[in-house]
Structure 1
Amino acid sequence: MELYFELKTLQLKETFSIAYGNYNTREALLVELSYLNSKGYGECVAIDYYQIDLKKFVIRLKEIQPLLESLSIIHPTEFFSILSGMNLHPFLLSALDCAYWDLFGKLENKSFIELNHLPSQNLAESSITISVADIEDQIRKIENSRWNKFKVKCKGLNKDNIEKLLRLDRNIAIDSNASFTDEDCIWLQENEKISRFSYLEQPRPVGNYKILHKESLANWMADEDCQDLNALEKLLPYYKSVNIKLMKCGGLTPALTMIRKAKELGYKVMIGCMTESTVGISAGCVLAGMVDFADLDGANLISNDQAIGNFVENGRIILSGKAGLGISLK
């Protein structure tokens, strides 16, 4: 097996504004694992509020490259077990895990869904992100969009803006990226109209969730608070829903376990994404038959997508049906 990796710059179609900052590009690390004539692809991106340094990932890949290239082709769960002993950051772990699933499926001539006996019908419909802006601009984007579901970003709580969004009578979720106060959360979860939002994501900074009540009118969804399997039990009294992202939890292998465990505990589950190319989005798409919500618009937000594979069109998730994760580079 051979390992190849390359840093790429993803260009956003327009400035992406969230509570953490404004972004026109995302730096990405493309990982390729190959054997014979087959190639599998994975990806991770630099997110500043996760303190991701892709140059350190490149150094780490060079360190483990001889070991990875010495491995024979084994089942992806065995490969993940080996990776788990290398003390890798979850973002880098995810890129390698997804690349190997893509390679293994191509070698077996079976899709990830076939290999794992997952549903491929009745896929969750993805939302499109509306970045932080003047409320009238946000409403204009919603009204002019061909998508059916929207995740509206905000920086802090503006009650008038909440009322304006509710009057649209559209399928809208709110994502404050941890910018709400305790007082904001109390007001939201005691307001009966708030149940009309499909969910309210990560209202408070990490670890500051105990003001939230699971049984309230708000469908609180954990994002940064829910990093891995261990978070699910402790978040139960506070959140109704969790956002599982491959890069956060370390790839497809742990995501499968997390989704199943979250469902057992009674959570509603979303498969989410960062700003990613089709390499990353293709991996997320294969889990869309297992979840209640999807937020897989990352590749729709960039202008220089580097791959083709599974994709999202106006919210509809379209699986290629090809072997592995169905990824090929342009």
Structure 2
Amino acid sequence: MTEIFSTFGLMKILRFLLFPFAILYDLIISIRNFLFDVNILRSISFDIPVIAVGNLSVGGTGKSPQIEYLIRLLKNEHKVAVLSRGYKRKTKGFQLVNSTHSAEDVGDEPLQFFKKFDNVTVAVDANRTNGIQQLLKLVDPPEIILLDDAFQHRKVKAGFYILLTKYDDLYVNDFILPAGHLRESRKGAKRANIVVVTKCPQNLSDTEQNKIIKKLNLKSNQKVFFTAIDYDKKLKGSGEISIENLKNKEIVLVTGIANPTPLLNYLSEENINFTHLKFPDHHNFTSEDISRIHTVFNGIESEEKILITTEKDYVRLKDKVANISYIAIKSIFLTDEKLFVFEIQEFIKK
């Protein structure tokens, strides 16, 4: 208990010391947003539906599951393209993801989208304006473009904005960088058409939802939805084994994501014992990292042992580590899913 209070006190002191820098950062970002709002800095619009998915905070809000939800929703009726910056990739400029690319070439999430969904175009470009222009020049151009992690990319004016905020770390409870984790102030939420509270408990009550809606204090034309993470009941990858059968095995879990806590909690709730090797978000695994993974895994004497990872990490590890499987996830709506679908479809019709 003393350690908890000591950590909490240290965080308060650190935030106090960083607060002047946060004010300066907020001023710079606010001026930039104002210049875009009054059209001194120009935003470019496009003649096809562009849906931007993003957040106000740094990482870990569940953008990938939300993008995948939209892909599933739209891909059977429309030609869909996903445009990402390709975080931590080693290439530059516009890249149209293909089967020869690795996660180092285009980023782990874009490669995951490409491998997971047929007939969906996936591209990366830090310059989203150029990326959209290149997509529209294709022989078979998309009819809808999903912008991954583009809420702050003001040079493109998307037609529809989906803002994500995590249930246990709402942006209204956070501070701007570097005192907190917000990329811009809470006022940025006014640009959102929809706010999705992600990674909620699946039994979140209506009363609790209403409390959060009140706390977010959005405009009357903005809608709030609540989603949770749902884990597949069977591993994929090198071996397909049910989650239930993991209870009798020795598990080594490798993660390189922003917030592995929900996955750790899920495995614990399923009474699965595991050794956790944690790496930074979007980590490019080195030969030393691979050796460490092998050392820990081979150090377990039991023959009933399995090496597992997340779906995002799998695309970076599958060619480096033999016999590794992953737990796939998806986003599920707690309530009002039909209303969410209606909002997206109405935007596309317009």
TM range (shorter): under 0.3
Length-normalised TM-score, structure 2: 0.26
- Normalising to structure 1: TM-score of the pair? 0.27
